[in-house]
Amino acid sequence: MTICIASVCIHNNKEVFVIATDHMIDVGIGQFEHDIKKHKKLNGKNIAMLSGNSLIFNDLVKDIKEDSPFKEIKEKIYSNFVALKKDWINKQLLSKFGLDENEIKEIIKSELKNQFVAKLIEQIAKFELKTGILLVGFEENKTQIAEIGENGYADFSDIHFHAIGSGQLQAVNTLLFQKQSKDNNLRTTIYNVFKAKSNAEVSSGVGIETDMLILTQDGCHDLTKEDLDTLSKIYKEELQRGRNSIDLNNLKIMNSIAR
């Protein structure tokens, strides 16, 4: 899978987003790290990040108008999910038997005595695109966060951060542990999001390469390689600082075992 993370914070008295993704690409037959971006900038004030099949990213964000507000973009992406899933079912399952969607609806109404038809219905029911979109942006000067998939969408704007992908649990837990809040400043949030992405790398399918950017109402700003190298240095120092702390020598249990 992958990891996509977004968190809101304050910079110059305005809410902005800090965003991070890996470079792991899923093309349906396997996963590998590539320099392809896992995010797409939509009309300047919104960004879509993808977890899952990278080959359908363009199809999921197509036909979005330049002036579309966040809500319309969210609904359009969901509509694209529904249409794409229906198209795939028609091409990969129904066409093999010369059937269409209306015929399947009629078949379902009756008792399924044919084992091949029953198997087909089961395959349709289990069919999944196994892909999600994390959409972030601004609407009426307010930050918006939504997770969109083939079964609908959910709003995370009130939580002020979210993550999707196979590394979601580690990333969200890290942000919770760091007590990430929308009131945090940009510097702190950049590190918290980087740490969340780095901790998520223990999960299967999360790549070690990282993209990070800041989304403001004025546009996007990408972190440079030098910035990412600095964050990596700080992260590694933090890991070492705890396990190598001289204060560990002052633990009373150490003296007891030494005797």
What is the residue type of 107?
I
Query: Could you tell me which residue, 27 or 102, shows the higher pLDDT?
Result: 102
**Residues 173-218: tens digit of each pLDDT:** 999 999 999 999 999 999 999 999 999 999 988 999 999 999 999 9
**Mean pLDDT, residues 70-86:** 96
pLDDT above 60 (res 9): yes
* Mean pLDDT within 10-39: 86
> Average pLDDT for residues 143-152, to the nearest whole number?
97
Give the model's pLDDT for residue 40. Answer: 95
Instruction: Kindly report, residue by residue over 86-134, the tens digit of the pLDDT.
Output: 998 888 788 777 777 777 776 666 666 667 777 777 888 888 999 999 9
Is pLDDT above 60 for 258? no
**CATH numbers and ranges of domains, the chain:** 3-74+131-223 (3.60.20.10)
Which residue spans within the chain are E strands per DSSP?
3-11, 14-21, 24-26, 31-33, 39-42, 46-51, 132-139, 142-149, 152-155, 161-165, 211-216, 219-222
Residue 242 pLDDT? 85
Dihedral over alpha carbons 199, 61, 14, 4 (to 10 degrees): 0
**Per-residue pLDDT averaged across 136-155, rounded?**
96
pTM (two decimals): 0.89
Half-sphere exposure of 133 (CA within 13 A, CB side): 32
